[in-house]
Structure 1
Amino acid sequence: MKLHSFFAAVLFATVGSAFAQNATSQDGVKIGGNSFLSKFAPVGALENQAAMQYAQTMQQAEKQHALGPDNHPQVLRLRAIANKLIPYSLKWNERAKQWKWEINLLGSKQINAYCMPGGKIAFYSGILDTLKLTDDEVAIVMGHEIAHALREHGAERAVKSSAANLFVKGVEIFAGAKGYDPNIAGSIAGGAANVTMLKFSRDNETEADIVGLDIAARAGYDPRAGVALWQKMGMVNKGAPPQWLSTHPAGQNRIAEIRRHLPEVMPLYAKAKALSLNGIAPYQTNVKGIAPVTYP
């Protein structure tokens, strides 16, 4: 085994995620509990820190006249969608019942949105305008971002980062004790750690996609919108780095993963809309060149 491969294998064993085996519900997506690593992070403190950072961001945006007012049509739209999604989010994390949820719109060309620990959501106008998101597609994005907070990926990432740093330091000490150059060993270990952390980040993105689909479908939003969403994203993100160098899975991989989970979430959508699966029309987005998304 090559040295860098050995380091990667050790790091996976050291900071790999472990999930509970019980599914969260009988219907919908089947996924275990939150990573046990998140239990080692001060989640409450992270939520308080996130709330402070979020408030500062909103205050700064307001000073720059970049914060959408409460009566802005897009703000009203985002909050209406959030109000439908949040009740179906609570089963994924007991703490979410006590969160003081907020959602705001920031005026920026960035194609971005996020949900911080504690339910602090922000959408950038760029993602709405550039991608021309339908309500279903907004729900897919929002469900995905909410899922990150519910699954405590921020806390998990903090613990993994600390573990990776300890791993690199341990390799340096071990190499020095064996007569090898600790700087070279540390550099190799650091490279393996970075690649491994990127893999963890992509895994978290995939998990958020899956949980977000479940939440959106239960709230009555078409999960097939996720396919169209990533086709739109591909149109404006052609210069994306290779998947293995990115914190996000490649668009085609995400589309394939979404399609793989449609059998789990389409019945939830049909139930929410009081339709039979056979009676659901193909999903048609609002951009030319994207074919209707059918099921099955």
Structure 2
Amino acid sequence: MRSRLILLLLPLLILTGCQAVQTTQGGAVGVDRTQYMFGGLSSDEVDKMAAQSYAKQLAEARSKGLLNTDKAMLNRLRRISNHLIPQVTHFRPEAKNWNWEVNLIKSDQINASAAPGGKILFYTGIVDKLKLTDAEIAQIMGHEIAHALREHGREAISRAYTSQMGTQIAGALLGLGEGSMQVADAAVQYGLMLPNSRSNETEADLIGMELAARAGYAPEAAVSLWQKMASASQGSPPQFLSTHPSTGGRIETLRATIPRVKPLYESSAKR
């Protein structure tokens, strides 16, 4: 009984080291989940870490002659970003003034990212292999920008801190040995980390779709994008154990959201 009570209270114990925040406004898609950030970790600190990591990636790519070699694709990405970035004010007004960058690495990887503070990075493989349209690129870029706006990176670091704290607390209170500590660690991971991570991905999908729609890119491109992703990935891990939504579930959610953002797209087309 004592062990069960402690495990039930464990999330409350470790959340005492976190602060409840709301990094963005909800937008038309209604992303309004309260986030919990570790109190000793500021946005500025995460931005600095992200900028250092981003600069290192660029330096490594530059040293290998892989940075921004495809000028046509780079210009295409930067043109799309110029349409998307002004839309961030609908979710986080001050983000328009971030030091935004868009760079391109020559690689077969199907990957893209946007680090905290507005550091966007694409790999040529995601555009070439998936044969992306501008609207599909906008969905990916919007998705990655959304991660930055919602500070999902800081949230992930906070979860790592609280996960470690939770394991230590469980071990101390329950008097667990090394093997049982591993069980406690798994309980914290699956009970606290994975659901939030899947939620973060869904939030990024929805905010990204709205950003793209406001920028004049058809929201239906989100569906065609993930259909291409599904074909390229040749299957995905079970949703329960994945940090990402299953492709089928993701597409269903995006389809259901199109009516919310379609009027924004139609209004942008009239401007």
Q: 1:12 to 1:255 in 2, by over 3 A?
A: farther
Q: 1:8 to 1:78 in 2, by over 3 A?
A: farther
Secondary structure at the aligned position of 2:230 is classed as helix
Q: 1:182 offset after TM fit, Å?
A: 3.0
Aligned to 1:236: 232
Runs of 4+ in 1 over 6 A off after TM superposition: 3-6
Write out per-residue CA displacement over residues 71-119 of structure 1, whole angstroms, 9 at most, x where no aligned residue: 7100000000000000001332244133110001111111100000110
* 2:29–2:206 contact (8 Å) kept in structure 1: yes
* 2:80–2:134 contact (8 Å) kept in structure 1: yes
Q: 1:133 offset after TM fit, Å?
A: 0.6
Aligned to 2:177: 182
Normalising by the residue count of structure 1, what TM-score does the alignment of the two structures yield? 0.82
* 2:236–2:247 contact (8 Å) kept in structure 1: no
Q: 1:188 to 1:5 in 2, by over 3 A?
A: farther
Q: Provide the C-alpha distance between the structure 2 equivalents of 1:10 and 1:260, rounded to a whole number of angstroms.
A: 36
Residue 83, structure 1, aligned to residue 78, structure 2:
no
Aligned to 1:205: 201
> Mind listing any 5+ residue stretches in structure 1 that lack a counterpart?
276-296
Q: 1:171 to 1:13 in 2, by over 3 A?
A: closer
Q: 2:216 aligns with which of 213, 220, 238?
A: 220
What is the Cα-based RMSD across aligned positions, in Å? Answer: 2.7
* 2:144–2:208 contact (8 Å) kept in structure 1: yes
Aligned to 2:50: 50
Q: 1:263 to 1:64 in 2, by over 3 A?
A: same
* 1:92–1:151 contact (8 Å) kept in structure 2: no
Please show how residues 97-136 of structure 1 align to structure 2 within 5 Å: 97-136=96-135
Aligned to 1:255: 251
* 1:19–1:33 contact (8 Å) kept in structure 2: no
Letter in 1 for 2:115: M
Aligned to 1:153: 152
Q: 1:97 to 1:23 in 2, by over 3 A?
A: closer
Tell which deviates more after alignment, 262-271 or 33-42: 33-42
Letter in 2 for 1:73: A
* 2:85–2:96 contact (8 Å) kept in structure 1: no
Tell which deviates more after alignment, 44-53 or 161-170: 44-53
Q: 1:36 to 1:142 in 2, by over 3 A?
A: same
* 1:67–1:105 contact (8 Å) kept in structure 2: yes
Write out per-residue CA displacement over residues 231-256 of structure 1, whole angstroms, 9 at most, x where no aligned residue: 11111112422122221111011101
Letter in 1 for 2:82: N
Letter in 1 for 2:35: S
Write out per-residue CA displacement over residues 162-218 of structure 1, whole angstroms, 9 at most, x where no aligned residue: 111111111100111xxxx43233211111222231221111000010111110000
Tell which deviates more after alignment, 146-155 or 239-248: 239-248
Letter in 2 for 1:44: D
Q: 1:233 to 1:4 in 2, by over 3 A?
A: farther
Q: 1:57 offset after TM fit, Å?
A: 1.2
* 1:105–1:124 contact (8 Å) kept in structure 2: yes
Write out per-residue CA displacement over residues 137-161 of structure 1, whole angstroms, 9 at most, x where no aligned residue: 0000000000000000111111111
Q: Provide the C-alpha distance between the structure 2 equivalents of 1:162 and 1:98, rounded to a whole number of angstroms.
A: 30
Aligned to 2:188: 193
Q: Provide the C-alpha distance between the structure 2 equivalents of 1:109 and 1:154, rounded to a whole number of angstroms.
A: 25
Q: Percent identity?
A: 39
> Mind listing any 5+ residue stretches in structure 2 that lack a counterpart?
none
Q: 1:258 offset after TM fit, Å?
A: 0.5
* 2:198–2:242 contact (8 Å) kept in structure 1: yes
Secondary structure at the aligned position of 2:113 is classed as strand
